[in-house]
Amino acid sequence: MAIKLPIYMDYHATTPVDRRVIDEMLPFFTDVFGNAASRNHAFGWRAEEAVEHARERVAALVGAESPKEIVFTSGATESNNLAIKGAADFYRDKGNHIITTVIEHKAVLDTCKRLEKEGFQVTYLPVDAHGRVSAEAVEQAITDRTILVSVMLANNEVGTVQPIEEIGKITRARGVLFHSDGVQAVGKIPFDVVKASVDLLSITAHKMYGPKGVGALYVRRSRPRVRLVAQMDGGGHERGNRSGTLNVPGIVGLGKAAEIMRQEGLAEGERLLALRERLWKKLNAAIDDIHLNGHPEHRLPGNLNVAFAYVEGEAMMMAIKDVAVSSGSACTSASLEPSYVLRSMGVGEEMAHSSIRFGLGRFTTEEEVDFVADLVIEKVNKLRAMSPLYEMVKEGIDLKTIEWAAH
């Protein structure tokens, strides 16, 4: 069968909506269009019923003890903001210290920076060469002023899975709330909020084959009961945690996507792991000076992040333009700084510029993996034939001995 181009290998950025999800959503745009907050007629009741069904499905996916612990939001950015700012506002009399990591998503990092301006102290924990934070470092950073620890379940760039259960044991023992940004990992790796002692968990639909613009925040209701200050004023929806008319079709989609993930996610993960290993083995066998970014084992099944030395990432993406991937080089951004995640793992700037992230997902096929592997091998060779660095290295010149003019 001929390969259909372009090929999508950027599942960390977003995912297509599963047909089964769309089918459940569609009636809620037309026939069942009621406002879930309309308590006095059948249109409202049916919408509310659908929302509550979705809430149960999301609760089941994350392992919540009650559907009441699920607050629907517009997506993970809002969930992260609500979790961190909401907890900081509520518990500010108890303390003003927050602990997070340097590799969090901007929705967490910039939220923490905002809180710093308001007088909170934030500790940004470093990660090791594989992109992992240590539970001991979390423990050592906790003071009697610490109210919240926020560590992502898995990183979006390098796929490194964090030691969430170990951290959860520590935060629980020390009486500190624990938030995790679970966007990339929930449903894809074994995880539940009870086992991991997570008190707040952010998820979004569009990273798990649901629609964009809808997400959820898990907010623990017992042992401990977590309280948040709402960040938007309005009608007091979602038990006062998040005002705004509920996005019923979106929430129905999130519910269905969560249901599919709960049933199929782990088996899908095994399939993706095999495909990812296939891609890595092919590339590694054919290309010299290639490096795996991230952890070899504690890693999202669909993530492969590779540095092709002496080849610049953006040129690489242009060379494989029929394949949608993402680069650690940020040459297109105004800052021209390469990925802060790779840099904080100690990956050199030149290697960060040479890094490509392949994100495999539900609709990735073995044929696509083989096609991409062959194409990447061909283009790396082509670009290296054009690379003065590769030529110099082959001549035996140590690039570190050259006085480069930074520009």
CB of 345 to other proteins, least distance (A): 16
Closer to other proteins by CB, 141 or 389: give it.
389
CB of 329 to other proteins, least distance (A): 6
Q: Which residues pair with 307 in a beta bridge?
A: 291, 355
Is 331 among the catalytic positions? yes
Torsion sign (Cα): 136, 137, 138, 142: positive
CB of 396 to other proteins, least distance (A): 15
Catalytic hit among 102, 137, 319, 331: 331
Closer to other proteins by CB, 250 or 338: give it.
338
CB of 309 to other proteins, least distance (A): 9
Closer to other proteins by CB, 82 or 311: give it.
311
CB of 305 to other proteins, least distance (A): 17
Closer to other proteins by CB, 5 or 173: give it.
5
CB of 353 to other proteins, least distance (A): 4
**Tokens 């021209």 identify what position?**
336
Interface contacts to other proteins, rule CB under 8 A: 310-315, 318, 329, 331-334, 336, 338, 348-350, 353, 385-391, 399, 402, 404-407
Q: 224 preceded by cis ω (within 30°)? A: yes
Angle between helices 106-117 and 76-90 (to 10 degrees): 30
CB of 161 to other proteins, least distance (A): 29
Closer to other proteins by CB, 247 or 339: give it.
339
Q: Which residues are catalytic?
A: 331
